[in-house]
Amino acid sequence: MERGEQPKATLDDVLAELKAQGARKKDFWDRLPQVSTFISTVVLGIAGLWFTHSYNERQSAIVEQQTRQDQENKKQQARILEMQAVEKFVPYLTTDDERKKEVALLVITTLGSPEFATQFAKLNPSQGTQAAADRIMASSVSTSSSAVTAPGAALTSSAVASDGKASVAATRTGWVYLGQYVARDGRWETRYFDFPESADPTSLASSSLAVRARTGNINVRSGMPTESGTFPGVREVLSPGSKVKVKTVREWSYTGYMWAEVEYETSR
């Protein structure tokens, strides 16, 4: 062999190289099924989890929708029963007996329809209907979603009780029913707080009033009734002698039924 020449591959070398290449190719194709099986398992697992999650979400949505529908159906059925009961008392509202009108409206209110009672009294004012509306304003149960709402806390101050222990009084705000004011006569037909019978409603702003012992407990609500006669939830019940500070006075739907936004203190 002359200097600078490369050694020539022998036949054995060529056969060995071809055999090695064949082994490498065979090794790849041998492993391919294992790799494919692993990838397929992972993909199928992910797909299974996704379908299971989607199915559970759909089932939850169906159950939730069915629950809402059942609740709505129950409300509708209850409302129908209420209206059927109210219908039985409607004839008493067309009589000349004012006492029967008053009792009929109060019964209708206890059946869960204070809106009907207050609207009827507003549209058909008479001695009986106005007396009923006045009592409804003072003591009607809540027609909102909750019978009692959480009290709205405001400023707080500390005091010392008679036993020497410190107590805390919280100042809160709410709405109370003052009574029925007859503007043409310049007097109050009913009063649930201690103030002069001839007091002008606007003069009560910024004054301090006590709940009358004669009229008993007074509800403090989260707001005054709506125009349709819906009563907001009750925050507190003030006993006779409890004092409130009047912030503003408002008339309900031009009827003479006067409400006031007040501040009051409760111990906690």
36-64 tens-digit pLDDT: 776 777 777 787 788 888 888 888 888 88
User: Tell me: the pLDDT tens digits for 80-121?
Assistant: 777 777 788 888 888 889 999 898 888 888 877 888 888 889
**pLDDT attached to residue 58:** 84
Distances (CA, A) of 49 to 75, 96, 164, 259: 39, 73, 65, 60
Residue 10 has which token pair? 């022998």
pLDDT given for residue 141 in this prediction? 60
Q: Is the pLDDT of residue 260 over 90?
A: yes
User: Is 148 or 16 the better-scoring residue by pLDDT?
Assistant: 16
Please report the pLDDT score of residue 243 as a whole number: 95
Cα(120)–Cα(68) distance, integer angstroms: 32
Say if residue 11's pLDDT is above 80: no
Which of 248, 103, 102 is CA-nearest to residue 178?
A: 248
What pLDDT is recorded for position 151?
40
| Model confidence pLDDT, tens digit, residues 144-195 | 444 444 444 344 444 444 455 555 668 899 999 999 999 999 999 999 999 9
Token couple for 264: 């009051």
Q: Which two tokens stand for residue 244?
A: 């409130």
Positive or negative, the CA dihedral 227, 256, 179, 153 is positive
What stretch of H or E contains 229?
none
**Domain assignments of the chain as residue spans, ordered by start:** 86-139, 153-267
Instruction: Give me the percent of the chain exceeding a pLDDT of 90.
Output: 37
* Secondary structure of residue 128 in the 3-state scheme: helix
pLDDT at 142 over 60: no
